[in-house]
Structure 1
Amino acid sequence: MDEIQVPPYFICPISLEMMKDPVTISTGITYDRENIEKWIFLAKNNTCPVTKQFLTSIELTPNITLRRLIQSWCTLNASYGIERFPTPKPQVNKPQIIKLLKEAKSPEMQMKTLKTLRSMASENDANKRCMESAGTPEFLASIINISNEVPDEEGFTSTKEEALSILYQLKLSEHGLRSLIASGNNEFIESLTRVMQRGSYESRAYALMLMKDMFEASTPTPILGLKQEFFTQVVQVLRDEISQKATKASLQVLVQACPWGRNRVKAAEAGAIRVLVDLLLDSSEKRACELMLILLDQICQSAEGRVELLKHAGGLAIVSKKILRVSKAGSERAIKILHSISKFSATPSVVQEMLSLGVVAKLCLVLQVDCGSKAKDRAREILKLHGKAWRSSPCVPMNLKSSYPF
């Protein structure tokens, strides 16, 4: 059989495969829809792959003429086993979505609209971006913002949870995420807090994962105004261990919230320290352990956090145990936690407890291995701070005493 030659203008410049749904971008170059969507939306590129020019718009215009040429070529070469691909389903457009949102007035119509929106969002990333530009996030947020204090009509809760699921599925741009959290009174964050308090396990997870994305895109201002109830509910999700994704999202949300003193105190008062220590006792996954140690370090920079850590029977022990067992970053955070305790909360009983738990021996070991200069400096400072109580103790193994900084 003769080799079939595909005309070069039928080939997608990115994948070198034959186009099935050719679309033209703002630079005038035509690509296969699936491949250019991956380039723009998944890889988050804002340039044309061929010309390297900046994309003035992410709108993808169907190249109908080229698509028909390709389909005709497929038909002419059917005898060689080449199948003619079907005409792609028409893409949604902004006026179509705006009309759909305006019609969703009653609860019954809202649920019908939500099902249509979910179907649109599941088709491709171009639909998601079109939905975002047409005001879909604001529509979904308005459903979620309806207070749970009013009596629920039949299906009201499922409507709210459906809206939250779609909002997370949209994978909003940074601008879209910032718009959600931009409200001066943090209304949307409070709505998500209510979902965490009263929603299903799935909705609570979606609320946390969406909040993580919002915090990563946000300025500090709305995060500084977080209420105590927010921390209480995030810590409760951690305590309930809904799923690995929800746990990791909860940790990331708290890490984003706790560089500031007021939030550290609120996290401590919400019981975060006890939950984190309990989770660390059972966790071996590297990234999760790192996040827990980062968060413990942040909260222990407050007096309230240090008090809570020392209250937990396994607090000092598990922090010490994680040194040299997680990662270099994990070791640095664990030593930083012990440094905060040693410098600001080292009562005689705490100093003795650190000795009996093997914390002092672990710090001596740190000075003998390669674990970073900052970690070694902090370990050395801790040992010097309480050298009088620790240096001559039989609790420190003889092979490590040579490391003790005199």
Structure 2
Amino acid sequence: MVRKEIAMRLPPPHQGLEVKIPSFFRCPISLDVMRSPVSLCTGVTYDRASIQRWLDSGNTTCPATMLPLPSTDLVPNLTLRSLIAHWAASCSRTAGSAVSSVKSSPGGLVRQVESSGADPSPALRDLAAYLSDDDIDEFEKNALLGAGGATEAVTSVLPRKGEEISVEGVEAAVRVLAAIVVSDGIEDANKKRVVAGLGVDAAASVASLARVLRGGSGLEARIDAAGLAEFLLANAADEAKMAAAESSELVAELIRLVGPVDEKGTLDRKAVDTGLSCLAAISASRRGARAEMVRLGAVPAVVRALHATTEPGASAKALRILESAVSFAEGRAALCEDAEEAVPAVVGKMMKAGRDGAEAAVTVLWAVCHRYKDRRAADAAAASEGGLTKLLLLMQSGCSPAARQMALELLKIYKVNAKSCLAGYDSKTTHIMPF
């Protein structure tokens, strides 16, 4: 049979030189060289074994086009089979040995990851490089992640017990998954597979992310883990979101991420933004998770980030976190403990973080200065440069009625008369006087 001839002529997978495999020789499902190419009614050709498994699993669509299949008949593609046979024979003659690229094909890498007892780290690193390679067709990547089962294979690595896989292996798996969720070329359906895979054992997956955040090989690995946590918090089912939000280990590492990252105390913009995104998502969750975040030191870390960042989006996230924190006595105490640093940071970003950020800033100041009347916070607010001007500008900016009322009440901490107000607020707009 021709099928057997191809199997015999394909270079053995454990020896030889690397050669370039024509992309149309690869099965869209396994991404391995096809041994028995067959075509569906949609016109797409697959290896018989791969497409048969797809159909036997109950699927009624073409895995490449996702079109419904009015017929599941498999028609042998004799022309392609002949071309593959000639190519395989040519490789054997010119190389004189096997082709290493067959061994390290994407489908083969997935099988190495799935293999029990084997260290998946090398295969995972190769998969990450494959998914990050801009020269590889996005169709092939999506086929590997979808019908090829790569996503499920990689997500299954994270819940493995600590003694079964090193932190390097976990880090390599996180790198693959992070490459999936951040890529514009990866289909949403495949990104959802990441969420589903992580959600199978959400607590174990979250523990693995915290492990990389704590002991990753560098800042890039930590950012990848935080980015994956952010994706989980934004897209997972409620149970998985809660597993992340209520993980003290993960929250502590996210707080550490938004703080200084080296002995000089410098901040990395991407690390800060990603960490703040996660903490902002957690601050919008259950009260218990928010209280734990405050207990673990989120307030001083976020204040440091607020001072350092110049990005409006990051500033808005930081202000929303502080808004959540001051709803607790412990959060207010943490902010007021270093009011001379925290309050000016809030005032300074009030008009630099968009409308949501501005209203969050007003809420923070109103909570500590007006409602709970902390003297340190009120003095720091009154002494902050431009505080009065910013409040008046906010009141004229079309803010919500609640924010306007809070701003009006905050104006009372400025012990000034009408004349000094006008002197400090020179504008062509209509003036809103505090008294």
Equivalent pair of 1:351/1:386 in contact (CA under 8 Å):
no
Q: 2:196 aligns with which of 163, 179, 192?
A: 179
Residue 294 (1) aligns with residue 320 (2): yes
Q: Secondary structure at the match of 1:314?
A: helix
Question: Which digits, 9 at most, give the CA deviation of each residue in 1:365-402, with x for residues without a partner?
Answer: 32664x2231x752443433773x64556996344697
Pick closer, same or farther for the CA change 1:396–1:124 going to 2, 3 Å. Answer: farther
Q: How does 1:304-343 map to 2 (within 5 A)?
A: 304-312=330-338, 313-343=340-370
Deviation of 1:137 (Å): 2.9
Deviation of 1:236 (Å): 0.6
Q: Measure the CA separation in 2 of the matches of 1:257 and 1:300.
A: 15
Q: Measure the CA separation in 2 of the matches of 1:229 and 1:159.
A: 19
Q: Measure the CA separation in 1 of the matches of 2:216 and 2:419.
A: 51
Q: Measure the CA separation in 2 of the matches of 1:238 and 1:395.
A: 43
Deviation of 1:188 (Å): 0.3
Larger relative contact order, structure 1 or 2 (CA cutoff 8 Å, min sep 6):
2
Q: Aligned residue for 1:36?
A: none
Q: 1:105 aligns with which of 110, 117, 126?
A: 117
Q: How does 1:1-400 map to 2 (within 5 A)?
A: 55-56=67-68, 99-103=111-115, 105-107=117-119, 110-118=120-128, 120-121=130-131, 122=133, 123-133=136-146, 134-148=148-162, 150=163, 156-171=166-181, 173-183=190-200, 186-201=203-218, 202-225=220-243, 226-241=246-261, 243-260=268-285, 261-312=287-338, 313-357=340-384, 361-362=388-389, 364-366=391-393, 369=396, 371-374=397-400, 377-384=402-409, 387=412, 390=414, 392=416, 397-399=421-423
| TM-score with structure 1 setting the length | 0.67
- Higher mean Cα deviation, 188-197 or 177-186? 177-186
Q: Measure the CA separation in 2 of the matches of 1:395 and 1:345.
A: 29
Pick closer, same or farther for the CA change 1:178–1:114 going to 2, 3 Å. Answer: closer
Q: Measure the CA separation in 2 of the matches of 1:368 and 1:385.
A: 11
Equivalent pair of 1:391/1:404 in contact (CA under 8 Å):
no
Q: Measure the CA separation in 2 of the matches of 1:145 and 1:54.
A: 30
Equivalent pair of 2:109/2:123 in contact (CA under 8 Å):
no
Equivalent pair of 1:380/1:405 in contact (CA under 8 Å):
no
Q: Measure the CA separation in 2 of the matches of 1:361 and 1:224.
A: 40
Deviation of 1:219 (Å): 2.6
Deviation of 1:327 (Å): 3.1
Pick closer, same or farther for the CA change 1:274–1:27 going to 2, 3 Å. Answer: farther
Q: Aligned residue for 1:404?
A: 433
Deviation of 1:360 (Å): 5.6
Pick closer, same or farther for the CA change 1:168–1:334 going to 2, 3 Å. Answer: same
Deviation of 1:315 (Å): 0.8
Q: Which amino acid aligns with 2:381?
A: M
Give the fraction of aligned pairs with identical amino acids, expressed as a percent.
16
Q: Which amino acid aligns with 1:397?
A: C
Equivalent pair of 2:109/2:124 in contact (CA under 8 Å):
no
Equivalent pair of 1:93/1:130 in contact (CA under 8 Å):
no
Q: Measure the CA separation in 2 of the matches of 1:135 and 1:54.
A: 16
Q: Report the RMSD for the aligned CA atoms in angstroms.
A: 4.2
Deviation of 1:196 (Å): 0.9
Q: Measure the CA separation in 2 of the matches of 1:112 and 1:381.
A: 57
Q: Measure the CA separation in 2 of the matches of 1:143 and 1:224.
A: 21
Q: Measure the CA separation in 1 of the matches of 2:114 and 2:249.
A: 34
Q: Where do 5+ consecutive residues of structure 1 fail to align?
A: 1-19, 31-52, 68-88
Q: Aligned residue for 2:83?
A: none
Q: Secondary structure at the match of 1:143?
A: coil
Pick closer, same or farther for the CA change 1:183–1:368 going to 2, 3 Å. Answer: closer
